[in-house]
Structure 1
Amino acid sequence: MADETNGFRADWANKDFYAELGVKKDASADEIKKSYRKLARANHPDSNPGDTAKHEKFKKVAEAYDVVGDPDKRKKYDEMRSLYAGGNPFGFGGQSTYAGGRTYNFEDLFGNAGGTGGTAGGGFGDMFGDLFGRGQRRTSRPRATKGADIETTATIGFVESLEGVTIQLRLTSDAPCPDCNGTGGKPGTRPHVCPDCEGAGFIVNDMGGFSVNETCPRCGGRQLIYDEPCPTCKGSGRGLSGRTISARIPAGVKDGQRIRLRGKGAAGESGGPNGDLYVTVKVTPHRIFKRSGDNLAVEVPIAFDEAALGAEIKVPTLSGTPVTLKIPAGTPTGRTFRVRGKGAQKSDGTKGDLLATVEVQVPAVLDAEARAAVEAYRAATSSKPLRANLFEQAGA
């Protein structure tokens, strides 16, 4: 990019804008406009896809017309070219010699008002500031626009949510019309420069004291218009695109979690980046395991004698390899035991724990031997009524 001081494009002083437009220095405004439209139409990117040379020519022609196509800018441009003819006036950071052999310092000529190293206003910086600096009306290619974001939903299994999985997603999104390639014109027809914006892609609205550039409502910023719109997209230049993509769902994702996949959304316009894809993940329940944050939870049935006398039991894990859990004597139903490192994967790569809650099971049917044993237990503990404290506390 060319150096700038006080908004001044130094490289422009050595450019011959008249030559770029193919006209003489004393050409009339109508001659300049006619030549610009002809060159813009012949070199526009929409009319010459893939032709880099013509794309560059279009930019140079637009840049030239932006200056000499405006009477005030043209006058100051001519004055500057005449004043500094025969030399390179833009040697930044030192002194340069111009026509007549006189030496000037660049910062003295174009110093930023109130800035470091420059004069406090005035000079040639003010003279050419509105030509090459702030407030200028530039002709440029359509503004790059980011593509739209896309929302979708994916259902995965419980184990897949813990370990991560790559899934295939079928997406339908907004995209350039496949028949007109986004131009909005009927295939086979040729465009012409938009008469409202004269190929700039925007119009300037005077807001009273300042101007605002707005996208041209007639051409939509495309700079060209077609007399016959594309029958497929009705001139909008947009259509629907169906595609299948691979999406990686990270390990540890939770049910209902929203995943953002950068650059997987709709395609951008005029070189803009793609939008993003947001995937809301639905996780199917497991038969025995449940999610509790970064931990897994499982209910384990135990017998009355195991709870009363203590035992060592096997507990399943998600990996398939069981772990041994030691049940102390006198364990009540509902007690939870923690098995470390057997839970869900965390964001830092470590794993949570397995929470095993024991539930004492009461047999629905007893055979004669088991019934005799239970009756003997009842007789042995009858002197210690279980609910004695309950009635004492109720009467307190």
Structure 2
Amino acid sequence: MAKPDFYQSLGVPKNASDDDIKKAYRKLAMKHHPDRNQGDKAKQAEEKFKEIKEAYEILSDPQKRAAYDQYGHAGVDPSMGGGPGGFAGGGGFAEAFGDIFGDIFGQAAGGGGRRGGPQVYRGSDLSYAMEITLEEAAAGKDTQIRVPSWDECETCHGSGAKPGTSSSTCGTCSGSGTVHLRQGFFSIQQTCPKCHGSGKTIANPCGTCGGAGKVKKQKTLEVKIPAGINEGMRIRSSGNGEPGTNGGPPGDLYIEIRIKPHEIFERDGDDLHCRVPVPMTLAALGGGIEVPTLAGKAEIDLPEGTQHGKTFRLRGKGIKGLRSSVPGDLYCHIMVETPVKLTERQRELLQELDESFRGGGDRHSPGGKSWAEKVKDGVKDLFK
């Protein structure tokens, strides 16, 4: 099977500059690296990665590129006696490949390390769980929280070394903060295990900070909770996460909202639901009742013969969400209460009422049939 054209593999023209070739390879290597592709795509990604790796090896070397431009694949194939472009050549590709991998994995780790100096890493993000009431979620609030922070050590003034001493350049990485592991054509850059990327070692660490150059403290942050925020939403506080390494930028603080259970209301998006207990006499006779809302109270007119579980909708009495132009609704679910601990007189009245129901036919049945008729229908269904 014929090999693909190296320029086409990288997606660059034949007159592409060295920088264009390097940028194209970096982009494709990030996309097709086997570690970034799993499952069914892994095999296909591995083959593509080998293809672009070979293309970059040839086109990034001036001698190999010239041989390829003049003779094609035959000019760089060692099995065909290829000249300076063969794999048997010097360490040019290994060095270039190591450099490009260092750039790729340095960026992937959040650092994008500098050559010739310690690796710089962004600080980790922090999470803070904040519990608020439903009323606070609906109306919003300004509050304060205390979170851990890092300040420069006052004893060593950030050097990490015991007063009167100083740090020294790391002998393992020569101050670069990274080491290179080579095997064959591969050269992979890793954080120095001796100095952990700082590029220096401290023989006599500061007794206050233990050599870190910083001490943990608490700081107070002002937090604005927007009106309409919901359970699980997060507020981002930029730069208030953990500090970076070797001068890297700090991470962010994410404040995750937790809403306390409410005694009356249950929230469903921008809508609210509540249960309204109603005496059975009021449900039967009908009349006006007061129901609670987050803003106060509202009135509902119960029609005569209101049944248990009946729902009344009050428009605009819910919550105005963060992305809503109008508030949600309040749904009031009627719960008809049956009296308990009756007096003798109340019992007599209920018995009289019950007798009147029995003699009143089906006019008292919400389903249009008397209780006795429903029982008879059920028995007939059993013997069908």
Tell me which interval the TM-score lies in, with the shorter structure as reference length: 0.5 to 0.7
Q: Paired residues, what number?
A: 291
In the alignment, what sits opposite 1:242? Answer: 218
Pairing partner for 1:311 from 276, 283, 287: 287
Letter in 1 for 2:18: N
Whole-angstrom CA distance in 2 between matches of 1:175 and 1:149? 17
The CA distance in 2 between the partners of 1:241 and 1:5, in whole Å, is: 51
In the alignment, is residue 332 of structure 1 matched against residue 328 of structure 2?
A: no
Give the equivalent residue in structure 1 for 2:110: none
CA displacement, residues 306-336 of structure 1 (integer Å, 9 cap, x when unaligned): 322332333221111x333232222111211
Mapped contact 1:175–1:266 kept (Cα < 8 A): no
Code of the residue aligned with 1:157 in structure 2: it is T
- Distance (Å, rounded) in 2 between the aligned partners of 1:367 and 1:190: 91
Q: Contact 1:185–1:225 (CA<8 Å) still a contact in 2?
A: no
| AA matched with 2:375 | L
Letter in 1 for 2:163: P
Is this contact kept in 2: 1:6–1:133, CA < 8 A? no
Gaps of 5+ in 2: 1-15, 21-61, 77-88, 103-113, 362-369
1:147 is matched with 123
1:266 aligned partner: 242
- CA 1:342 to 1:113, structure 2 compared with 1: closer, same or farther past 3 Å? farther
Q: 1:377 to 1:276 in 2, by over 3 A?
A: same
Alignment of 1:119-268 (within 5 A): 135=98, 139-173=115-149, 177=153, 179-237=155-213, 239-255=215-231, 257=232, 259-263=234-238, 264-268=240-244
Deviations 1:167-216 (A, max 9, x none): 32211256665544554322332333333322322233222223222223
What is the rounded CA distance, in whole Å, between the counterparts of 2:198 and 2:376 in structure 1?
Answer: 87
Are 2:374 and 1:389 aligned? yes
Asked if 2 retains the 8 angstrom alpha-carbon contact of 1:262 and 1:275, the reply is no
Cα deviations by residue, 1:102-160 (Å, 9 ceiling, x for unpaired)? xxxxxxxx89959xxxx9999xxx99x88x97655974333331212223332222211
Partners in 2 of 1:254 and 1:390 — Cα distance? 49
Write the letter of the residue equivalent to 2:294. Answer: L
Taking the TM superposition and a 5 Å limit, the aligned residue runs for 1:89-104 are none
Let me know the Cα RMSD of the aligned residues: 4.3
- Change in Cα spacing, 1:365 to 1:193, as seen in structure 2 (3 Å) is closer
Structure number with higher helix proportion: 2
The Cα offsets for residues 61-101 of structure 1, whole Å up to 9 and x where unpaired, read as: xxxxxxxxxxxxxxxxxxxxxxxxxxxxxxxxxxxxxxxxx
Query: 1:366: how far off?
Result: 6.2
- Whichever residue aligns with residue 329 of structure 2, its letter is D
CA distance in 2, matches of 1:274, 1:170: 17
Q: Which residue of 2 aligns with 1:35?
A: none
> 1:285 is matched with which residue: 249, 261, 267?
261
1:195-239 CA distance string (max 9 Å, x none): 332232223322222322222333332223333222223334454
8 A contact 2:180–2:188 mirrored in 1: yes
Task: Give ranges in structure 1 of 5+ residues lacking alignment.
Answer: 9-109
SS at match of 2:196: coil
| Alignment TM-score, normalising by the size of structure 2 | 0.61
Distance 2:123 2:283 in 1: 62
Is contact 2:119-2:198 (8 Å) kept? no
CA contact (8 A) 1:175 1:267 kept: no
**Deviation of residue 166 (structure 1)?**
2.8
TM-fit CA distance, 1:258: 5.3
Alpha-carbon distance, 1:337 to partner: 1.1
Contact 2:119 2:178 in 1 (8 A): no
